[in-house]
Structure 1
């Protein structure tokens, strides 16, 4: 069982994550968050908000509209430039980004093959047979091909700079004299197939229309009129776009633009905010991704946690360095395995044209390092572009410096004309941005927290892939052992969906249940946290294990002794240790464990 498959099975079984519209066949790339998933996501976003807004005096929040007019995204460059290159596999029909695709893999020659072999892997034997027929009849007529199960093997004569030269099957009646396959440095990620279309741009934004009348009628009418006029396809498309433009809107591809277009409004309504200051936002964004992968890692609908931090131009470099360190500290604080979090600086050719620096925070997922947050020095590009498009000056005025200069001029009677001074009094702020994917963060922290142990408590290492092994091993069984496995989700207590579980030793005893309800209610009221009352008719040990599986840090067991001396047993998830405490100590223990850094030593 792979780590990813194990986690997804647990998520579905325990109510973290479900396939959206599953009873109707599901929707690829769409997920619903169950009772535990929504709590984890909420806690994670709250910890981000606390670090970015509540722990700072110069950051405020905002919540902007998802539906965005074209003018905003035209100004920001998204309409014209927010594209990825897209390639289709001629065999699998899958689409993918060439910059994310792997290089060709060849099997080195042996004494039997005498030349390199290009293996193409199909999902199954039936598909492999169909693909072999397509290759023989369409893509490489007369190539020397063999098939072994679901793997198709092509004999390679040699590799050249931009092409693969295949060996000819001299017994084939229609063998081509020159079997060349174009090769641009990448292949189909799933099959290793080099039979691909040419790359082409693909806009990532979702269009929609604000119109009480179905726009399709206007599309049909415009197209028919264009056809009768004998116009070509390109002209017809222009006419259709012109007809639809008045009602055209987009689902926002990022939350940042909502902050930039509200910069002046926020500054005007909160005059106490002095540069540097920030505007934070958590909200949904939408991107028409070419390739959806790794469950909630890459989906068309996702949530972003973003901060736009407005700084003086001469302070941008220093603030960028401070923020990159601050964000790395945040990630490593909540991670159980800080070594699985790293920072990767963008090379010069990766940077956006307006950016002078960018780093990604990456987590080591089962499939490799993946971005979970980006910190960028965006310069003044966004505010300047929106200012140019609207004619509204999106400047910052340092009132203190301006007043000081005016007083000096009044005293001396001489007008100061220093451009350097004027540039410091009024300027378009530069922006340091922190953009974190909430869904990706949730996936990273769950994988990081997940620990699988056998019945002796020994940690079991799961595979790094995302699929079941060839024998179809499922969650709860080790690939190398028949002994049952159990999962402990060692989430940071502040992230855990359920903070405390209160367990009566016997669920049908009214006196024990009354005490449990009192403890639960006290914790909920005093700490404002999610508390579970675990009253199922099963052993306390099994109930402990269920709570371990969803990441509950503390379990409190009420037994018959409790009725005599007002003491309970409290158990720590991570160590499994238990101790007897008074009922009135439970609140202090939990409260202490939920404190922000520096965290106190646990009382257990």
Structure 2
């Protein structure tokens, strides 16, 4: 991000806090990264947006209805949808700075630097090779790509990297009163699955004729390893979607 854009972005963040729109969560205890509270004006603004979206999406259409599905769902839901096996990102750590990077972000940032230096073709070739390796889940190849191009950590400026590992983006917790007998469940990473599993219930009870839509507004949670960009990449957020 260019310096002017960075300064402008920081000014927007400061303005949001100063005027009661957004506060860092639990700030008096040093806060929690990528988690935010909506202040007195932010909560009103968010409510107005949600109300307007809900009215325009459901109340103004005869063939679109709303649901409010629970955050907790049977874990088989996420297994069937592929989230348990595939909802993950390849990560790499720098051993000197201890900073963790998402592999594609690390390489893309390096490619942007190459383009800024006028080495556009080299950057394009690098990205093409990265995408091919990601498609094959070739993590050894990705690490070799990083090492061959001498891609360094932005903090330590070294190329002392760990092996690439997969990190699942779903938050898990235990359901049950006794730890030994508890079953693992997940905080939903998206709201769409609550719509899908209730399709038949809505269709039958509402006597809906296909095609019809189901809308929902609700909380979703993602264990973002590289959380950044203010409200644009949070660990707890709300989604408004219609399927």
TM-score range, shorter chain: 0.7 to 0.9
Q: CA RMSD in A?
A: 2.6
Say yes or no: does 1:69 pair with 2:74.
yes
Paired position in structure 1 for 2:225: 290
Go from structure 1 to structure 2 and tell me whether the alpha carbon gap of 1:23 and 1:265 turns closer, same or farther (over 3 Å shift). same
Say yes or no: does 1:210 pair with 2:175.
yes
CA deviation string 1:355-409 (max 9, x = no partner): xxxxxxxxxxxxxxxxxxxxxxxxxxxxxxxxxxxxxxxxxxxxxxxxxxxxxxx
> Which of 236, 249, 266 is equivalent to 2:202?
266
**Residue pair 1:98, 1:186 contacting (<8 A) in 2 also:** no
Matches within 5 A, 1:313-352: none
SS at match of 1:68: coil
SS at match of 1:90: coil
What's the offset of the Cα at 1:21? Answer: 0.8
Q: Where is the strand percentage greater, Structure 1 or Structure 2?
A: 1
* TM-score using structure 1 length: 0.33
Go from structure 1 to structure 2 and tell me whether the alpha carbon gap of 1:305 and 1:189 turns closer, same or farther (over 3 Å shift). farther
SS at match of 1:103: helix
Q: Distance in 2 between matches of 1:96 and 1:78?
A: 21
Q: Distance in 1 between matches of 2:238 and 2:154?
A: 27
> Which of 55, 60, 63 is equivalent to 1:58?
63
> Which of 72, 92, 96 is equivalent to 1:91?
96
Say yes or no: does 1:103 pair with 2:107.
no
**Residue pair 1:16, 1:34 contacting (<8 A) in 2 also:** yes
Say yes or no: does 1:199 pair with 2:147.
no
Go from structure 1 to structure 2 and tell me whether the alpha carbon gap of 1:262 and 1:21 turns closer, same or farther (over 3 Å shift). same
Paired position in structure 2 for 1:301: 236
What's the offset of the Cα at 1:247? Answer: 2.2
What's the offset of the Cα at 1:61? Answer: 0.4
**Residue pair 1:84, 1:201 contacting (<8 A) in 2 also:** yes
Q: Distance in 2 between matches of 1:291 and 1:90?
A: 16
Paired position in structure 1 for 2:51: 46
What's the offset of the Cα at 1:92? Answer: 2.0
CA deviation string 1:551-594 (max 9, x = no partner): xxxxxxxxxxxxxxxxxxxxxxxxxxxxxxxxxxxxxxxxxxxx
CA deviation string 1:112-171 (max 9, x = no partner): xxxxxxxxxxxxxxxxxxxxxxxxxxxxxxxxxxxxxxxxxxxxxxxxxx879xxxxxxx
What's the offset of the Cα at 1:28? Answer: 1.3
Bigger RCO of structures 1 and 2 (CA < 8 A, at least 6 apart): 2
What's the offset of the Cα at 1:91? Answer: 2.5
Paired position in structure 1 for 2:127: none
Aligned residues between the structures = 210
Q: Distance in 1 between matches of 2:154 and 2:162?
A: 14
Unaligned runs of 5+ in 2: 118-142
**Residue pair 1:183, 1:194 contacting (<8 A) in 2 also:** no
Q: Distance in 1 between matches of 2:238 and 2:72?
A: 15
SS at match of 2:110: coil
Matches within 5 A, 1:479-494: none
What's the offset of the Cα at 1:15? Answer: 0.4
